[in-house]
Chain A
Amino acid sequence: MMRRVYCDTRKCLSCSTCEIACALRHSPGDDLVQTLQGGFDAVPLVRVRQGPLGPVFLRCHHCEDAACIDACKTGAMFRDPETGKVLIEQRKCVGCWMCVMVCPFGAVFPVESSGTAMKCDLCDGYDAPACVAACPTGALHFEEFEDFETRYRAQIPVGAWCTEQGT
């Protein structure tokens, strides 16, 4: 089974550190300051947004039945046969935005500077997704769905609180 990024929203504090880490990973700059000063594009490919019951972590689900692959007229959007990841071959993308429109999660983004679509690639080529490593509360997990489900059913520590020092 394929590993994907799952968010335990009970631990999400909407700090958006995941967005920053993702944007940095996918931009030519080396660090945050360099990226901003160098005027490089830094588009986060995951988003933290407000849902009706709390924060929602929006990202590509690398769907088994991917609407974006069906919609793509050039074959730029494809599934890697080895890893199962849904990826975009940038040089084939003509920027028609069909994938942007059909994604039910809004997880594909039109990027103006390149004129192509971009989305989460599960940090293809890296050891682990940047967002997962960056999350300060450990709300994000890179694992198979069954493992996440087990984890999600477990209790998490309630309340935020430090024990009193010295007593």
Chain B
Amino acid sequence: MAKQLTYADPASREMVKRAAAEDIETVWDRYEAMQPQCGFGTLGICCRICAMGPCRIDPFGGGPQTGICGANADTIAARNIARMIAGGAAAHSDHGRDIVHTLMMAAEDPKSDYQIKEEKKLKTTARTYGIETNGRQNSEVARDLAKAALEEFGRQTGDMTMPSRTPKARQALWRELGIMPRAIDREVVELMHRTTMGVDNDFRNIMKEGLRTAIADGWGGSMIATEFSDILFGSPNPLRSKANLGVLSKDQVNILVHGHEPTLSDVMAAVSRDKRLIERAEEKGAKGINIAGICCTANEILMRRGIPLAGNFLQQELALITGAVELMVVDVQCLMPALASVSRCFHTKLVTTSPKAKMPGVEHIEFHEDAAVRIATEILENAIDNFPNRNGKRVHIPKDTEQLVAGFTPESVFNILGGTYRGTYRPLNDAIIAGRLRGAAGVIGCSNPNVEYEEAHIKMVKELIKNDTIVVTTGCNAISCAKHGLLKPEAAFEHAGKGLQEVCGAVGIPPILHVGSCVDNSRILMTLTNIVSEGGLGDDISDLPVAGAAPEWMSEKAVAIGFYMVASGVYTTIGHPLPMMGSRNLHTYLTEGIEQEVGGKWAFELDPVEAAHKMLRHIDSKRRALKLKPLIYEQAFTPGE
């Protein structure tokens, strides 16, 4: 029986029905076929690390309680989680590495297709690395900066530099705990080492290196990706755009960019405006060229160029099923192998571009940064030439789109708060101190067919803003919020509590601020740091009345992000638990004990409203600890304490 979506945006619901009618398999069909899923895997007590195995622990106590080597459920589950952190950190950081190499290229070659667009961000980032900027050419500074950033990946002595941006108290804590990261690649390697057969057998020790690796991602690989992308492609400023499948055009050449790295998508977006290509499109009978995005790369070009969002992770097949896409170009991460077979149901060309991400039977046009414009042009020409192959009778573009505002960053939003000449967080801190705002929450992360699509994302953010808690969002959650109209300033008047409404009305912002792609979760880290330094709300991120959530998480990257948020002192809740429930000790540590160490912890709650309440209870407890004024307006959710 084909799945019917019950909560998601109307375009997705419509396209899932269409997929069923056309007998095209989607992720929801494959999810059903996979049921029931293996409980050993779900509980994290299956171990495949060595050839003495595979081993599994009997969670009911009857069968083996240790693997063949003697590892118990705590060790096995901890190792499994650790490897997810390693995978997620590797993905984010490798992305960061690619952007740094691109800056180096831009610095060294004045004829490069990449240029330094954001001098301000170049200088502030250089400052973090102690690089002199006065009286020096941008290209010189950039070269030194790129070199310093590359060292973050492989240095063999000392510690990483980027984490020095955290509040002093947090740095001291990390040093005391022995989790200040040394180098990005090194932490990932050590985590893989520790979790191989016969190394780390102490679940807390394994998690310690997991925390360190996660920090090397959030305050390292991801932050580098964000900052260096801003330097190359521009630091985002608030802008308007649209979201959902209705952004596809019935009479223009439709090209979808999917994946993660703006080194590809930004160039595609820029080249699509080339007059010669537009003429070529017109020659083929199209009215122009329409670029739209899926997933994080969509967020990158949205934030900087206002390119519309076609959809998020679970819509990647649905976008193709419109029959209106001439070409989907992909780079890395979150790409479903199923795209190949879905594209073959239509005229749609699927093109891989990264040597790291190939698909059997799929055309590969390898993207090299030193020939970026030429290759992007070639890909666009392929798309344009495919336009005549579109079968009008099979085109079905849902008409749904929603308006949105995006482009918020630690720099841009607080320029808004402070005025044109001086960015300041004072109004935000004051609003929290005075009780107009209860707190802030980051609601982020993927979509997963193991929950009702978008229900948790939307219900959670609505519950939070209803209770005067301003929300920042990234990634697929941001796209879901966009599709449900929650990224419009007007959404404050429909859904937000009185206090938040006042702030939004005064400043002109939506109640939910889109701060970018998943590597841009590092923007949330910087925002929290800036709030601490502005003063009045404690000395460390763990003092702040804030919480984080990834209610529909799917990816290992989400695990890494959750751990770096927890390591930074943020209470982090997710829907389905981390796959480690087969170990009571690990579960207790991650949801209770770890807070004594890092001031942040995990929580698992499937019901999004209940999860929001848990976040609010946590926020309230931080308000009490800071002795902040009581909230100005009556709240919808007031726990009895």
Contacts and interface: CB of A to CB of B under 8 A. Distances in A.
A11 B42 CA distance: 14
B61 interface: yes
Given A13-B40, A50-B36, A159-B584, A165 B72 contact: yes
Contact of A137 (B37, B42, B60, B74): B60
B154 interface: no
B57 interface: yes
B415 interface: no
Contact of A14 (B39, B60, B65, B73): B39
A16 B38 contact: yes
B63 A138 contact: yes
B57 A162 contact: yes
A15 interface: yes
A137 B35 contact: no
A75 interface: no
A104 interface: no
Nearest to A167: B585
Interface in A30-44: none
Given A13-B40, A15-B40, A161 B35 contact: no
B87 interface: no
B406 interface: no
Interface string A135-156: 0111000000000000000001
B3 to A, nearest CB: 13
Contacts of B35: 49-50
B583 interface: yes
Contacts of A50: 32, 35-36
B561 to A, nearest CB: 26
Contacts of B74: 162, 164-165
Contacts of A55: 36
B184 interface: no
A162 B38 contact: no
A164 B74 CA distance: 9
Given A156-B60, A157-B61, A160-B43, A48 B72 contact: no
A153 to B, nearest CB: 16
Interface string A5-25: 000000111111000000000
Interface in B2-51: 32, 35-40, 42-43, 45
Q: Quick one: which of B60, B582, B584 has the most chain A CB within 10 A? A: B60
A137 B46 CA distance: 13
A48 B37 CA distance: 10
A54 interface: yes
A157 B65 CA distance: 14
A161 B59 contact: yes
B56 A136 contact: yes
B36 A160 contact: no
A156 B39 CA distance: 17
B461 interface: no
B200 interface: no
B581 interface: yes
B60 A161 contact: no
Contacts, number: 72
B62 interface: yes
Contacts of A161: 59, 73, 582-585, 587
B65 A162 contact: yes
Contacts of A162: 57, 65, 72-74, 583-585
A106 B69 CA distance: 41
* Residue with the highest number of chain A CB atoms closer than 10 Å, among B32, B42, B61, B73: B61
B28 to A, nearest CB: 14
Interface in A43-78: 48-50, 54-55
A50 B32 CA distance: 9
A132 to B, nearest CB: 13
B63 A48 contact: no
Nearest to A50: B35
Contacts of B58: 136-138
B582 A160 contact: yes
Nearest to B32: A50
The CB with the most chain B CB atoms within 10 A, among A12, A50, A54, A136, is that of A136
* Most B CB within 10 A of own CB, among A12, A50, A160: A160
Contacts of B38: 13-16
A50 B37 CA distance: 9
B36 A48 contact: yes
B57 A49 contact: no
Contacts of A49: 35-36
Contacts of B45: 160
Nearest to A135: B63
A15 B584 CA distance: 21
A161 to B, nearest CB: 3
Interface string B53-93: 00011111111010000001110000000000000000000
Contacts of B65: 162
A24 B56 CA distance: 21
Given A13-B40, A49-B36, A136 B63 contact: yes
Contacts of B60: 11, 137-138, 156-157, 160
A55 B583 CA distance: 22
Contacts of A48: 36
A160 B59 contact: yes
Nearest to A10: B60
B605 to A, nearest CB: 18
A63 B65 CA distance: 37
Contacts of A12: 39
Contacts of A136: 40, 56, 58, 63
Interface in B538-583: 581-583
B37 A160 contact: no
A48 B59 CA distance: 19
A20 to B, nearest CB: 12
Contacts of B40: 13, 15, 136
A14 B57 contact: no
B142 to A, nearest CB: 52
Nearest to B581: A160
Interface string A118-138: 000000000000000000111
Contact of B62 (A13, A14, A16, A138): A138
Contacts of A54: 36
B204 to A, nearest CB: 11
Interface in B581-625: 581-585, 587
B62 to A, nearest CB: 5
A7 to B, nearest CB: 13
A48 B60 CA distance: 19
A138 B587 CA distance: 25
A48 B584 CA distance: 27
A49 B37 CA distance: 9
Contact of B585 (A13, A16, A157, A164): A164
Contact of B39 (A15, A157, A165): A15
Interface of A: 11-16, 48-50, 54-55, 136-138, 156-157, 159-162, 164-165
Q: What 4 A-B pairs have minimum CB-CB distances, sorted nearest first?
A: A13-B39, A160-B59, A161-B584, A14-B36
13 contacts: A16-B38, A49-B35, A136-B63, A138-B58, A157-B61, A160-B60, A161-B73, A161-B583, A161-B585, A162-B73, A162-B585, A164-B74, A165-B74
